[in-house]
Amino acid sequence: MTQYRLTPLADALPSTVPFVGPETQERAMGRAFSARLGANENVFGPSPSAIDAMAKTEQWMYGDPESHDLRAALAAHHGITPENIIVGEGIDGLLSYLVRLMVADGDAVVTSDGAYPTFNYHVAGFGGELHKVPYADDHEDPAALFAKAAEVGAKLVYLANPDNPMGSWHDGHVITRALEALPQGCLLVLDEAYVDCAPDGTAPDLPADDPRLIRMRTFSKAHGLAGARVGYAIAAPDLITAFGKVRNHFGMNRAAQAGALAALQDSNWLAHIQAQIAIARDRIAQIASDNGLTALPSAANFVAIDCGADGSFAKAVLDGLVARGVFVRMPFAAPQNRCIRVSCGTSENLDVFAAALPAALADARKA
């Protein structure tokens, strides 16, 4: 029998992924979900201009390995230079490249307990040692994160603003002030995937060349291009240049680049989506209230709903919703796992959720 010669690290890792996809669950159930409200996708869809641009892309050609046109447009959009920007296969892909660049076996990395698990997955994949701090009142805690980074000599510290899975956020000036305590030699990975859904002032007003941080953005959320996998990072040019050592230079397909470029240029569609997200957040909060539950304030395209008990009860509610054809997710760590997380959806999606929730709650209370 062939013995595959995996590295000791790879051999020790579980063969798994951070999330079980809704398609996997549908195959196991033998039927499709009636409402797909668990992956924080933009169900309202991308700009028609983006759809048209992708449809007209000449797919026989490889994508531009430098993503030149998209980087130039992003630079103009942010008032920075293309040398401050790297484009990659969503934030997930960029996180993988960053960890590969900076984390070796035993290197310390800091995150919040229950924060985005894909970052943890990449750190584990390169042998890093994760150190976690708790949330504070359902918010990521920058002061605690940076104090832990100083304590353990971390190379990277991960902070999402707005946060997933809670939807909470800090004003940008809070992040700016907290950065004063970031230890020298540590890099802040500031995940701003949901910033297009957030109030003005959520993004800190910091120069792109600030060597203390790298900012991650995506076209998967407000721009509705999750299937195209387009993310980008903003950082000092020497760090951006380093990505060329490890990235997949043909990882960005031509249609994805064209779609992202068109989406970036369609500000009217983005404003339309932002309005739809706000309407959906209010509707989710009302559905929660109608069922005696509490919706947490959200600056993202989802709402965390406090089910009023512990993680076991919330999981029973989630299972009841899934059994009734509603795909939702929940936080992994206590005490945030008292919640379920419901993505913004169309009025029809939310009608299905509203109809299923009372019975799911009733079943959970009987268990």
- pLDDT tops 90 at residue 367: no
Contact 355, 49 (CB under 8 A): no
Q: Give the CA distances from residue 34 to residues 38, 238, 302, 322, 326, in Å, rounded to whole numbers and listed in that order.
A: 12, 47, 18, 10, 6
| H/E element, 283 | helix 267-290
pLDDT score of 1:
61
* Rounded Cα gap, residues 110 and 360, in angstroms: 36
Q: How many CA atoms lie within 13 A of 29 on its CB side?
A: 17
pTM of the model: 0.96
What would the pLDDT profile of 156-165 be if each residue is shown by its tens digit?
999 999 999 9
* Rounded Cα gap, residues 18 and 219, in angstroms: 21
What would the pLDDT profile of 57-108 be if each residue is shown by its tens digit?
999 999 999 999 999 999 999 999 999 999 999 999 999 999 999 999 999 9
What would the pLDDT profile of 341-359 be if each residue is shown by its tens digit?
999 999 999 999 999 999 9
pLDDT score of 81:
98
What would the pLDDT profile of 231-258 be if each residue is shown by its tens digit?
999 999 999 999 999 999 999 999 999 9
Please check whether the two domains, 20-45+268-366 and 50-265, share a CATH topology: no
Q: How many CA atoms lie within 13 A of 197 on its CB side?
A: 37
Rounded to 5 degrees, φ, ψ at 214 are: -125, 130
DSSP at 63: P
Task: For domain 20-45+268-366, give the CATH superfamily.
Answer: Aspartate Aminotransferase, domain 1 (3.90.1150.10)
Contact 261, 54 (CB under 8 A): no
Q: Give the CA distances from residue 80 to residues 76, 218, 237, in Å, rounded to whole numbers and listed in that order.
A: 6, 17, 11
The fold for domain 50-265 equals Aspartate Aminotransferase; domain 2 (3.40.640)
Token pair recorded at residue 77: 């959009």
What would the pLDDT profile of 124-139 be if each residue is shown by its tens digit?
999 999 999 999 999 9
* Rounded Cα gap, residues 189 and 9, in angstroms: 24
* Rounded Cα gap, residues 160 and 164, in angstroms: 7
For the chain, the domains span 20-45+268-366, 50-265
- Name the least confident of 11-20, 27-36, 140-149, 296-305: 11-20
- pLDDT tops 80 at residue 21: yes
Top pLDDT among 154 and 20 is at 154
pLDDT score of 17:
79
* Rounded Cα gap, residues 8 and 79, in angstroms: 45
Pick from 42, 39, 45: nearest CA to 18: 39
Give the pLDDT band (50/70/90) at residue 3.
confident
- pLDDT tops 80 at residue 314: yes
Unique residue bearing structure tokens 């484009």: 87
Pick from 209, 215, 138: nearest CA to 175: 215
* Rounded Cα gap, residues 231 and 243, in angstroms: 14
